[in-house]
Amino acid sequence: MFILMVIVFILGYTIIALEHPLHINKSATALLLGVILWVLFVIGGPEILVNTSHFKHYMEQELGGSFAHWVTGHELLHHLGVISEILFFLLGAMTIVELVDSYEGFRIITDRIKTRHRVKLLWITSTITFFMSAVLDNLTTSIVMVALLRKLIADKKDRWFFAGMVIVAANSGGAWSPIGDITTIMLWIAGKVTTVNIMLMTFLPSLISMVVPLAILSFTMKGVVQRPVLRETSKDDVFLKNWESRLIFFMGVGGLLFVPVFKNLTHLPPYLGMLFSLGVLWTLTEVLQRNRDKESRKLGKRLTIVGVLQKVDVPSVLFFLGILTAVAALDTVGHLHLLSEVLREHVGNYYAINIIIGFLSAIVDNVPLVAGAMGMYNFPPDFFFWEFLAYCAGTGGSILIIGSAAGVAVMGMEKIDFIWYLRRISLLAAIGYLAGGAVYILQEETHVLHGKKDTHAQMIDVSNPQSVMEYLTINEFVLETSENEAKPQTHGESDGSYLRFMRYVDEKTGESYVGYSVKSIDHGDEIWDGRLLQSIFELTPVSDHEAVFQVHDRSFLVRSDGSLFEEQTDETGLITSMVKWKRLVSEGE
């Protein structure tokens, strides 16, 4: 059943890709795929779970519990909550954009874009998308930009090309901002990256991932675009005042910009901020309608939220529901976690792992992929792996139109064919993705813009096991907490946990022993823990500045500046966090 779920998933994706030749709506396929995978999961039972710890914990806590109840009452309900957040966010954003469009608010922008030259217009719209996506997010930005493109380009195939580049630009722009893409948000909230650093380290690669496809198209695209013919006013139309269009435009854009502010202020999910903005606009339009005369109110139903909701692309929302439900089934069973383990064990190189994750994010949802990586790897904040993961997972989704939320939204709004995107945009997106990745690797290896590491004093050579071992054994470390973070300490003078490393070589046998000791002090009470076993000290450099090593049952990362970190795991063995061991300052330092 485990293998069958993978086969069904691949078959479902194939049918979605062949939507137009088969004349089967992708939303129908996605819904069927999502439901069938969960049915196969239930039929397979707990035996197909890669990790049964969560199910066993549930059975221990719930008397009379069953596998079916665990699936429906816990796992499915959890995923439904996560998926619903995305769907409500999408519905709110699409409704606001459609409302602004109904009030002709986007003419404030389109009337200022005079050029009809294809290349110039492509650069203008892509640049606007890139920076707007960093402020809003890639999903909302793509919805707004498609609405703008409808006002700028009449021909459908021309508009598809521009919409394809909107997807690329939106994903590229979202990758370098902590609030621009769901995966970057995940890493940011989890403390894997910090705001200034992620913007500094991924801005240039993200920009390159958009500029390279644009540069290629600049040599291949020719001519001008045809502007849509303005619709003539009919007797059924309500005369819109200029101030009404401007008011709804600025309130709509302001409502979208308010969402990240709402999240930061309240720490509530973004969809609640989007629904709040929608509620404000709904109330405003009701007030505007109330002030019209009876005949105008009757004719102006298209200017109300009720009228606008009739134009919202509900099939796209259902497509989202089906795809995310299908991926959730694979995530719960453990297919994606198993994939992360395979990458770690058989690929090894962290740059290569992230590049592969980027390509995979074009096929499956990048959220569980990134979540799997966060659980599998034990690196400290602002480690290059997290930065490159944010870039790859964010921009790799552009390679296929169903690889990102922005792509799915645009696909639904413009009815773009999967095969058309694959033939016209995918290669350009892949070239841009790899170019940006190469720029990040070059940037990392040459330490360009990497002042955060170069400012540290070079204390140890992390490529030399002897140098690292000498540093570890001559120093003592204290577990860093909020109480001791700012002041130096010496061993045993205050409460805390103190770590020492040991190495011993038997002169008679030549056997090497490596170990550690931890002394914990709590209000004068001491608890000792430690091990000294026959072992060889093995050091694995992961960059010029960092290396990982393991001492028996404990795993550490050491930096060239002397910083020492240790991974923390839960009862299932998954990494949950990193703690820092601070080197104690000796007398005279």
Alpha helix ranges (H) inside 425-464: 426-445, 451-454
Name which of 302, 284, 300 is nearest 292 in CA terms: 300
State the pLDDT at residue 293: 62
Question: Could you count the other beta carbons within 10 Å of the beta carbon of residue 587?
Answer: 5
- Return the residue matching tokens 């795993």: 555
State the pLDDT at residue 583: 83
State the pLDDT at residue 277: 92
The tens digit of pLDDT for each residue in 283-293 reads 988 888 877 66
Name which of 327, 376, 30, 394 is nearest 185 in CA terms: 394
State the pLDDT at residue 585: 61
Name the DSSP class of 542: S
Residue 307: exposed, middle, or buried by beta-carbon count in 10 A (0-12, 13-18, 19+)? middle
State the pLDDT at residue 511: 80
State the pLDDT at residue 425: 92
Question: Could you count the other beta carbons within 10 Å of the beta carbon of residue 74?
Answer: 16
State the pLDDT at residue 294: 63
Q: For the chain, which ranges sit under pLDDT 70? A: 179, 189-191, 230-240, 292-302, 344, 348, 365-369, 371-372, 374-378, 448-459, 482-493, 570-577, 585-589
State the pLDDT at residue 295: 56
State the pLDDT at residue 164: 92
Cβ-defined contacts of 462-470 (< 8 Å, 24+): 462/539, 462/541, 462/544, 462/545, 462/546, 462/547, 462/558, 462/559, 462/560, 463/541, 463/544, 463/547, 465/537, 465/538, 465/539, 468/539, 468/547, 468/549, 468/558, 469/501, 469/503, 469/537
Average pLDDT, the chain: 81
| All structural domains of the chain with their residue ranges | 80-227+241-450, 465-583
Cβ-defined contacts of 191-194 (< 8 Å, 24+): 191/381, 192/374, 192/379, 192/381, 192/382, 192/383, 192/386, 193/381, 193/382, 193/386, 193/387, 193/390, 194/381, 194/382
